[in-house]
Amino acid sequence: LDLLEPIIMPALMRDVQASGNISFEIVPAADNKMLKQKLNDGSIELIVADYQSHINDTASEPLGPVEPVIIARKGHPKINGEITKELFSELGHVAIYSDVWGRARIVEVLERLNMRRNIVYTVTRFWSFPNIVATTDLIAIVPAKFAKAMEEFYPLQTLPLPFTVPD
């Protein structure tokens, strides 16, 4: 939920606050076996994750499309309103750890286009991106809704990818 938390939780909490009988617990969702057990024993009723679950005997559907974009600090000295494929490959990237990153199709697209990313820093949480990118000349690929939410708090600019990622 790291990625979705700033997007959906504030509105959700405002909507359910008045009821008084609903509570939320944010937990790491790495263990599908544990999640399935908790769903079956009734200790949890809903899982909201930043990836589609592959737990047998459960229904899973995406909340919506994920449009990847690039974030960079405002005033980045090498970015003038767009990022070309060459600049994309040249600039240093902050990336999410591969266990999370593997859920995205970006890696496959880059391989097909024979493009590379200059990954200089790898993190385990999407929340690490905004501060690192806003205070360095590194760039990152994040979902557009996450980028928009972070622009309210950090001096970031959002730019389209210089290539197309299929749904």
Residue type, 73: R
- Each residue of 85-110: pLDDT tens digit? 999 999 999 998 765 554 567 788 88
Residue 73 pLDDT grade (very low, low, confident, very high; cuts 50, 70, 90): very high
Strand partners for 92: 118
> What is the overall mean pLDDT for the chain?
82
DSSP 101: H
What is the per-residue pLDDT for 94? 95
Residue 121 pLDDT grade (very low, low, confident, very high; cuts 50, 70, 90): very high
Residue type, 154: Y
In this structure, the chain runs to a length of 167
**Whole-prediction pTM:** 0.74
